[in-house]
Structure 1
Amino acid sequence: MSDALLEVHTSALAGMTASPGHFEKWASLAADEDFPEADLSEAAFRTRLVDDEAAGGALTALWARALTKWDFEEQPRWSPSTEARTDERRTAVYDRLRFGEDLRKVLGTAVPVAHIAPVTVIAREHTPWYTSERAAARSFYWTAYERKLREKGWSESAIASLDEASRSVVERLADPEQAAVRQSKGLVVGYVQSGKTANFTGVTAKAIDAGYRLVIVLGGTLNLLRAQTQRRLDMELIGQENILRGADPEDPDSLVGIDYAGYDDDWPDFVRHGDRPSALRAFDIERLTTRDRDYISLAQGIRALEFEKREPTLPLYDSVNLHRAAARVMVVKKNKSVLTKLVKDLKQIHGILGELPALIIDDESDQASVNTSNPKQWAQGATERTAINGLISQLLGLLPRGQYVGYTATPFANVFVDPGDAEDVFPSDFLISLPRPAGYMGVQDFHDLDSPLRLDERTVANSQEMAHVRGIYDGADDRLGEAIDAFVLTGALKLFRAAQGVSDKPFRHHTMLVHESVRMAEHAALAQRINSMWHAAGYSSSEGHARLADLWARDFGPVSAARAEGLPSPASYEELRPFVSRARQLISKGGNPVVIVNGDSDRDFAQIDLDFDRTPNVWKILVGGTKLSRGFTVEGLTITYYRRTTRQADTLMQMGRWFGFRPGYRDLVRLFIGREEALTKTSSADLYEAFEAICRDEELFRQQLTQYSILVDGKPQVTPAQVPPLVAQHLSWVKPSARNKMFNAELVEVRSPGRPVEPAAYPVNPAALRRNTERWQPLLGTFSGHTADFTNPPDGSSGLARTFSALTARVTHSALIAVLSSLEWERPGIFQPHLQYLAQLDGTLAKVDDWLLIAPQLTQANRVEASVLGSVPLSLVRRSRQPGKPSFGRIASVEHRTAAQRLIDTAAAGGGPVAIGNADAGPNTGVALVYPVVEGTTDADVRAAISGGHADPAKLVMAFTLIPPRSATDSTRRLVRFRARNSSHADEPIVAAPGE
């Protein structure tokens, strides 16, 4: 195809900067001037798109950038009624471009709509300053970073999502050019191993473009972690010219002492700006730390932090001075001596700090940064701080225009910081939850969360657990040898794919993680055992090959056949066998396949085999404990062997090193993890289920943030100071760190129109269970023996329509509220905010006519029935409480909840009664799923609760899920309501607890 077509399209799209327009007219203007011979027909466009990969993909890339920009635009004037990142928005774009149906289909295939969730923001009101026009006017470093991400293979949608997320942070910082002094503090919540560094690199780029002139990145507690962050910023943001500082890259003598140049294999991949940025009418970045040197007391005092003003009579923050001054960037370790030097140097500066827009980015901000000193030991009226927390507080005190942004995947320690401590790191201005990024392997990829499939229906194709998880059971083979075999086999598979033309960049490192204990003394013994097993494995012998062939046939072959998604896989082990030898050589390079990763000092991590940046190929088995659980990124991780458990939620979450991005080898990832047999399972012994429970809680936290982030009349429903009681409402096991305080903001009401309400923390005491069951008796007596049949549409995992039967009854709103108001809970008041809302549906807030009770029945083969206090026989269900907690996981089955939600949604959409099966609901009818639950792990536990066909009410948990009708709300659309516990402190987020 002619390059003329690409030139015309480039020119036409460049003309549509404000909005999409009639493409044919724009293209005709471009062609008339320079390319009159260009074929502008839609047929030519379609043909080129189909053939574009062979032509280098330039046209597809051009349109991907344009379409993604329009897809992501928030409330554009040209299409204010469509939501961003939806098919409706893309249709609006095509309509304005006036494209035909055939072209739309081809473009939709070449550039599909990225259905990416938006960033969730909980924030105080702020004065908008970071407009799109201002961002576009000064974007030198963001543009360079964006270009680098494209070179790395990031999709346009991933870049647009990062653009949106980083903008959400920067716009809530103080305007660096404003005269008024204002500090802001925020928290950004990502996922474990999900690319938080990319986000704060984007924030740094946008912030320095906007005018921030000192950026301090707190980059972990180890030199290795700090150096990783430094290199990442140097490579993707700061760039060659700022690192060289005028040195000739072709002159070896001038490169002496300069980072990377001349010895780092990736130096050619570092960002290049074309010249010193200051020579390109931008500004330079001066590094105050390097790859191998943390912050040290600066030579000649603090001259490196002196800022020259273009107009000395004006303050530094004036735009005349600000945008000509060089930015200073430092990546420092969260270490007492390092931060003490920095604080000491800053104290030597007089005057300029009050004019200096500064940004502090705190990576892993829940580690070391939070004040963990015991408030009960504080002197009267004094706050004692732990070392790092105190030094961060001093930094903020010295930088009146300093902004603090913490990053973490485990936010609860930060959320429960005392909001009333103005010098601490509570995110008082904003709390931002990042969406799950595309290509990320998280908890959903290792657990069958809410799967509607029975165990006997699950396969490696439709079950994440069956595909990726291998249980380690006490008393049986510990499967360590199998895990090592899997490591060798997956290494060979990566080499096979590279030989078949798949990019070998994701395969540069290949690692296995083994974590059994936190005791350092045990790591050496375990490493020695693995080393002995390695040398006895015989991977070059016929026995070794037979073992790997069996593992391929029964595990990796079937999983890859179902999940490789177009990646090449061998037809048999014989095709893979030649690559096993090379994999074995790479793993045993240096004579030992094992590296121990533990200790508290940097010396313990100063191993060449742990430096993923400098070592060309790290193919090793890593053995360790706590240090493998936090911060340390294990590149190329494919096999994880995990047997250590903990009761701390944040520690458990950080254990998820197996989460992350696995391009080219998602199907090869295996998690060998501690399990317990169902018959012997205790409340906290199953590590896999414990991990799932904590992940569910974190997801619930994210869902709540999303639900309450919607503005009402342009104002936030929830501020960061109101998040702690919101979290405590659902996560009773999390304790505030400020133990001598209570939150003054009390959660009063949670409204859930059209959304499920499913309590989880039911009583444990048999007497309380009996009383609750007796209170349900009037409603249980309304069920007759007739059943209703429910059929849901086919689900995505199996393609099967899900059908179940249930007993149904219809009760008045007042009858249901009478029962709900009398129930007891494991923690007093836990259901009160929901009850406050439901009680008002008698016409006070909205009118609910009645409730449809649905008591689902299990399949005939699995059903255990019993009468409950004289009711017709009900199907008893078995559920387990979450490990170490009084609450259950999910009560309602997916198919039951789906049917109930369809009743509610269909009634709301139709405005009249609807029927599904032989159950019906009107627009003012709520639905309640009712479950007589027996706590246990086997059907024998259920039968033990029955005597003579009657269930023991003291052994039943009368559980339920409610879905109020969508009409059950008022015109304010507000979903939560708070009140001050003490009216004299109404404006304060916390007050002192009584008696303290």
Structure 2
Amino acid sequence: MKDHLLNLHIDVLGAMSRGPKNFAKIAFAVSDAEEPADEDLQAFRELLLDGQSDLAALWSQKLTSWDTAETAPWSSAPARSEQRRADTYAQLCFVDDVRKALDAAVPLVAGPQPVVISGDFQRWYSKEKAAAHTFYWSAYERVLRKKGWSEAAIASLDQASHSVVERLSDPTRAEAYSARGLVVGYVQSGKTANFTGVIAKAIDAGYRLVIVLGGTLNLLRGQTQRRLDMELIGRENILRGISPDDTDALIGIDYQDDEDWPHKFVSHDGRPAEQGAFNIERLTTRDEDYQGLGQGISTLDITKLDQGRPLHDPTNLHPAAARVMVVKKNKAVLSKLVMDLKRVGGILHELPVLIIDDESDQASVNTIDPAKQTEGKESRTAINGLISQLLQLLPRAQYVGYTATPFANVFVDPDDSQDIFPRDFLISLPRPVGYMGVQDFHDLDGAVPAADRTVANSQEEAHVRGVFDGPDDRLLEALDAFILSGAIKLYRVSRGVPETKYRHHTMLVHDSVRMADHSALASRLNSMWNEHYSSSSAHERLARLFTEDFMAVSGAHAQGAPVPGSYDVLKPYVSRARQLMSAGGSPVIIVNGDKERDYEQAALDFDRTKNVWKILVGGTKLSRGFTVEGLTVTYYRRKTQQADTLMQMGRWFGFRDGYRDLVRLYIGREEPYGKGKTLDLYEAFEAICQDEEAFRAQLAQYATMIDGEPQLTPERVLPLVSQHLALIKPSARNKMFNSELVEIRSPGKAIEPAAYPMNAEQTARNTDRWRPLLPVFDAPSVTLALPPDSSSPLTRTFQATTNVVTHASLINVLSKLEWEGHNHFTPHLNYLAQLDGSLATVDEWLLVAPQTTPTRRVEASILGHGPASLVRRNRQLGKVSFGRISGLEHRRWAQRLIGEAQPGALPPSPHALGSRTGVVLLYAAVEKADDAGLRAAAPNGIADPSRVFLAFTIIPPTTANDASLRLLRYQAKRSGTRELP
């Protein structure tokens, strides 16, 4: 019965390549039965509900593909919507019982989609065209399913990779075009999986040379090569016809010493060229970077079936073998490649090429100051210059950069046609399911008061352990956590969890960039290991940490994974964990060095070594690209002033399937507002991550098309970046783009400028400019309530003083304010100023001055008004801008008020607004202060105008826009008059 049903459904669904059709009619056409038997329908429903059946898997694949298709001829509903699913069922003519069974077996996934910023492009890569050549993409899909990817995750990758490939130039296009693009992911979030999918689809479509720029170290390049060989290129292309049983012929073939060879390497069941597809020839191997074109230039002298037509003609292109190389971003290696390509000659003008630049903001960007270049002479850094030469030699080359920190790439000069500016598209990938990112270590939107946070309701309490200066730096505790988490993994294996989930178990210690410090720290760790785990006191200490920490966290976050009920249950596994960690004599590996051989350690090879259970000590080389497999405990105290460098150091971000509850981050903290202290590392990460999330959110907001036209194109992303990242000098920035953002419309959205003056005189002048609106501090205090919502089941209250001010009086104040550095508030002010009727009308603004809790309140009068409740605010690390200005609950309260505004609800009050009233949250703030510092800024209860600055968040009404719904407006810098559309 099962085989009969499976074969029937395979045949029926195979006949639905263009979309769902009447299932019964097609079943009748392909089977001998006149109509499905009742027992067949019953078996169908039962097998669907058995999620492990082949039939359930078949329908999961097909139904998910229909759910996620960007366009669906059978439905006008958007992808991933309930209506799309309902339309699909209607086409299939399924009864309610079958629909319910399918819904239960294949739940609708409505997760976030890639955000695409793109100009117009030639639409050549339709779903139908993609389906015509799918050999390597289909093989990659099988690999992902074998690895345990869900159909929803595969569909998401399918869509994201399709979005990239369709914006490349058609490989069969008559005229040459070289597209430039950038794909932005998250640190350690699976960007390699995305570009592997892009490569698979691109070579299926006709690209015949793929160059992957795979990091700056052999270690990183080798990781990428192995991943492509294992999941895409496959056994048969690696062996090139050699029998896997011919041991003599296999000598010298890579992967013979690999733990996963050959069973985990994809098989194509024979040479692809013998199956109507084409072979892939590797020009690099796992251990050897690019050495030169094998057999001379003939390697790229691709045979044409029709010599009278160019290579890019479909007749010649699709039978031709593809060439793939993974090369290091190294001057000597890339110079050799450029030199060889120069010798190849004319065929390069016919050759469709795909260049994938992994970690494209590292080494690839030209960092020479344009102001220091000789006029009329091009100056480039070495790697950037060689990439530029590649692009010139390969006129049909498509360049796609991948990074988690995109700012350096979008600051590339867009007018430089030979550089890597992403002029054609910028794609922001969604946060993957199962990924542990900043949201899993910070309570960014947590509404629970700090005093009420527990391991159950706070990510920080669950996973983060602060390390403060002092005699106890918690390094021993971090070692204990490493051993305990390893023991719990072994316990879970004994309870049926697959051992493959815990093949590697690692701890990362990153305290300094200096190699001498690494040696000293490794010696200390080895001494601690030998001293503190050789007596019964070790078990007492481990038992205490397990009981006070791990039991509670795992109890709240284990997600069904087995958790030991006591330390006595876990104790037998502690010894085995220590044995695995001590294999080879020491549990510690130092990862640093200036030369490649410094990284050629067998114990560091996650691919060839069966189990790596080690403590890794290092610095810069652990900060980018290098994937630390099985990372569970991180001890991190290194500081830096660069935002992108700091983000890339977040190796603790990633996928932690089966052990999310065991992850611990020991990170450097500073005593709050202590004298002479700097912003602590944890807060620095939070601030920078908020910047990046805000950048992504703006991309998503402005990606919406208006009248079929994009609001934002890649060359105009730059002003959005500058708004959040103040590390780039205005003069250099002005030379990198030729348009400026002059208006940002934010109906119903919070506007929160943060670059307040650092100069005391400017601060005093700004305070004086607020004088007409300061009576808000004279008003009686009122209690404002935020009722339970999705963020908290509790009603939260705060006190504030309020006043209603006219639109003109507010704009009069805002238009006179001074800012630090580049004035990022101007585009917002240009919008707000129009709300007097020329764009939309705002009658009044509810001015709200929130107050701190009475027990902690420090008050002072400001220019004779008040007293006002003083608050502390701090600038972000390495930036002129502050972090969050408004309190989270204050912001939520104001957004709720704006969202519930009703026409005619006047006069405005703290409890109700009209649709033509906005909200301003106003704070009397002091920079870097404790309670004593607050009082010092206001001696005798009178605020010093040069030390107390007035910071604000402004939320316009949701109706504050015109019929066009456009959110951005630009103008050209060169003329100062021409407006860009």
TM-score normalised according to structure 2 size: 0.95
Alignment of 1:401-550 (within 5 A): 401-538=396-533, 541-550=535-544
SS in 1 for 2:507: strand
Partner of 1:332: 327
Q: How far, CA to CA, are the matches of 2:631 and 2:605 in structure 1? A: 14
Give the letter aligned to residue 814 of structure 1: A
Paired AA for residue 566 in structure 1: G
**Counterpart check, 1:248 vs 2:243:** yes
Match of 1:973 in 2: 965
CA 1:430–1:26 in 2, change beyond 3 Å: closer, same or farther?
A: same
1:589 aligns with 2:583: yes
The Cα of 1:810 is off from its aligned counterpart by 2.3
1:899-921 alpha-carbon deviations (Å, 9 max, x no partner): 222222233xx666499996211
Corresponding letter in the other structure for 1:341: K
CA distance in 2 between partners of 1:889 and 1:578 (Å): 47
Q: Alpha carbon RMSD of aligned pairs, Å?
A: 2.7
Contact 2:236–2:270, Cα closer than 8 Å, also in 1: yes
Tell whether the 8 Å contact from 2:487 to 2:577 is kept in structure 1 after alignment.
yes
Distance 1:271 1:467, change over 3 A: same
- In structure 2, relative to structure 1, the CA distance for the partners of 1:779 and 1:512 (3 Å cut) is same
- TM alignment of 1:2-21, pairs within 5 A: 2-20=2-20
Give the distance between the partners of 2:759 and 2:29, measured in 1 at CA: 79
The answer to whether residue 66 in structure 2 is matched with residue 64 in structure 1 is: no
Distance 1:969 1:549 in 2: 61
User: Shift of the alpha carbon at 1:623?
Assistant: 0.8
The one-letter code matched in structure 2 to 1:284 is N
Aligned to 2:138: 143
In structure 2, how many angstroms separate the alpha carbons of the residues matched to 1:406 and 1:421?
Answer: 16
Q: Identify the range of structure 1 (818-827 vs 581-590) with the bigger mean alpha-carbon deviation.
A: 818-827
Give matches, 1:100-119, under 5 Å: 107-119=102-114
Q: 1:988 to 1:136 in 2, by over 3 A?
A: same
In structure 2, relative to structure 1, the CA distance for the partners of 1:372 and 1:266 (3 Å cut) is same
Q: Paired residue for 1:236, among 231, 246, 251?
A: 231
Partner of 2:923: 931
TM-score (structure 1 length as normaliser): 0.94
Separation in structure 1 between the aligned mates of residue 27 and residue 214 of structure 2, nearest angstrom: 49
Shift of 1:785: 3.8
Between 632-641 and 784-793, report the one with greater CA deviation: 784-793
Look up the SS of the partner of 1:67 in the other structure: helix
The answer to whether structure 1 residue 941 and structure 2 residue 933 are counterparts is: yes
1:259 CA displacement: 2.5
Cα distance in 1 for partners of 2:40, 2:909 equals 54
User: CA 1:420 to 1:393, structure 2 compared with 1: closer, same or farther past 3 Å?
Assistant: same
Aligned CA distance change for structure 1 residues 29 and 113 (closer, same or farther; 3 Å): same
Task: Tell me, yes or no, if the aligned pair for 1:683 and 1:884 is still in contact at 8 Å.
Answer: no
1:773-796: CA deviations, max 9, x gaps?
332232232567455554434355
Q: CA deviation at 1:92?
A: 4.8
AA paired with 1:501? G
Corresponding residue of 1:353: 348
Task: Pick closer, same or farther for the CA change 1:700–1:428 going to 2, 3 Å.
Answer: same
What is the one-letter code of the residue matched to 2:348? L
Q: Tell me if the contact between 2:846 and 2:908 (Cα under 8 Å) persists in the aligned partners.
A: no
CA distance in 1, matches of 2:480, 2:908: 52
Write the distance in 2 (CA, Å) between the matches of 1:877 and 1:75.
51
1:481-515 C-alpha deviation (Å, 9 max, x unpaired): 11111111111011111111112212101111111
Work out which of the residue numbers 794, 798, 801 in structure 1 matches 2:795. 801
Corresponding position of 1:992? none
State the shift of 1:931 in Å.
2.0
Q: Secondary structure at the match of 1:487?
A: helix
Q: Which of 692, 702, 705 does residue 708 from structure 1 map onto? A: 702
- The answer to whether the aligner puts 1:958 opposite 2:950 as a matched pair is yes
Matches within 5 A, 1:20-169: 20=20, 33=33, 36-39=36-39, 47-50=46-49, 52-53=50-51, 56-80=52-76, 82-93=77-88, 107-169=102-164
SS of residue matched to 2:918? strand
Instruction: Output the amino acid matched with 2:39.
Output: D
Asked if structure 1 preserves the Cα contact closer than 8 Å seen for 2:753 and 2:825, the reply is yes
Q: Is the 8 A contact 1:472 1:479 kept in 2?
A: yes
Residue 591 of structure 1 deviates from its aligned partner by 0.7
Q: 1:145-166 CA deviation, whole Å, 9 max, x = no partner? A: 0111011001111111111111
Q: 1:67 to 1:905 in 2, by over 3 A?
A: farther
For 1:829, the equivalent position in structure 2 comes to: 823
Match of 1:561 in 2: 555
CA pair 637-735 structure 1, distance change in 2 beyond 3 A: farther
Q: Which amino acid aligns with 1:552?
A: F
Structure 1 partner of 2:607: 613
Which position in structure 2 is the counterpart of 1:273?
268
Select 1:392's aligned residue among 387, 392, 406.
387
Is 1:660 paired with 2:647?
no
Give the direction of change, closer, same or farther, for the CA distance of 1:263–1:482 in structure 2 (3 Å limit). closer
When structure 1 is superposed on structure 2, of 895-904 and 747-756 the one drifting more is: 895-904
- Deviation per CA, 1:431-485: give whole Å up to 9, x if none: 2111111111111111111322221011111111111111111123011111111
Partner of 2:296: 301
1:671-709: per-residue Cα shift (whole Å, max 9, x none)? 111111114165744111112222222222222222222
Map 1:252-263 → 2, pairs under 5 A? 252-261=247-256
Q: Which stretch has the larger CA shift, 89-98 or 611-620?
A: 89-98
Deviates more, 1:930-939 or 1:780-789: 780-789
Structure 2 contact 123–166 (Cα < 8 Å) conserved: yes
Cα offset, 1:373, TM superposition: 2.9
- Letter in structure 2 aligned against 1:778: P
Contact 1:417 1:736 in 2 (8 A): no
Structure 1 gap ranges (5+): 990-996
In structure 2, how many angstroms separate the alpha carbons of the residues matched to 1:346 and 1:506?
43
Structure 1 residues 887 and 436 mapped into 2: Cα distance closer, same or farther (>3 Å)?
Answer: same
Letter in 1 for 2:540: A
Out of 87-96 and 750-759, give the one that drifted further.
Answer: 87-96
| Higher mean displacement: 757-766 or 626-635 | 757-766
Between 162-171 and 857-866, the greater mean CA deviation after superposition: 857-866
Give yes or no for the alignment of 1:578 onto 2:559. no
Q: Within 2, Cα distance between the matches of 1:8 and 1:756?
A: 56
Question: CA, structure 1 residues 45+816, in 2 after alignment: closer, same or farther (shift >3 Å)?
Answer: farther
Equivalent pair of 2:66/2:88 in contact (CA under 8 Å): yes
The worse-fitting range, judged by mean Cα deviation, of 973-982 and 553-562 is 973-982
- Greater CA drift, 170-179 or 803-812: 803-812
Q: Does the C-alpha gap of structure 1 residues 985 and 756 become closer, same or farther in structure 2, counting only changes over 3 Å?
A: closer
List per-residue Cα deviations over 1:168-195 (Å, max 9, x = no partner).
1111111110111111111111111111
Q: Which residue number corresponds to residue 623 of structure 2? A: 629
Contact 1:684-1:884 within 8 A present in 2 as well: no
Q: How far apart are residue 741 of structure 1 and its match?
A: 2.6
Quote the Cα distance in structure 2 between the aligned partners of 1:240 and 1:704: 44
How many residues matched? 981
Which residue of the partner structure matches residue 993 of structure 1?
none
Q: Which moved more, 1:883-892 or 1:319-328?
A: 883-892
Where in structure 2 are the equivalents of 1:363-382 lying within 5 Å?
363-382=358-377
Which stretch of the first structure deviates more once superposed, 464-473 or 731-740?
Answer: 731-740
User: Following TM superposition, by how much is the alpha carbon of 1:621 offset from its aligned partner in structure 2, in angstroms?
Assistant: 0.7
Distance across 2 between alignment mates of 1:240 and 1:609: 26
SS at match of 1:267: coil
Shift of 1:103: 6.4
**Percentage of matched positions with identical amino acids:** 62
Q: CA distance change for structure 1 residues 375 and 857 in 2, over 3 Å: closer, same or farther?
A: closer
Decide whether the 8 Å contact of 2:424 with 2:714 is kept in 1: yes
Instruction: Report SS of the residue matched to 1:410.
Output: coil
Q: Deviations over 1:873-930 (max 9, x none)?
A: 44333222222322221122222222222222233xx666499996211222222222
Counterpart amino acid of 1:956? V
SS at match of 1:188: strand
Give the stretch that moved more between structures: 412-421 or 23-32: 23-32
Unaligned runs of 5+ in 2: none
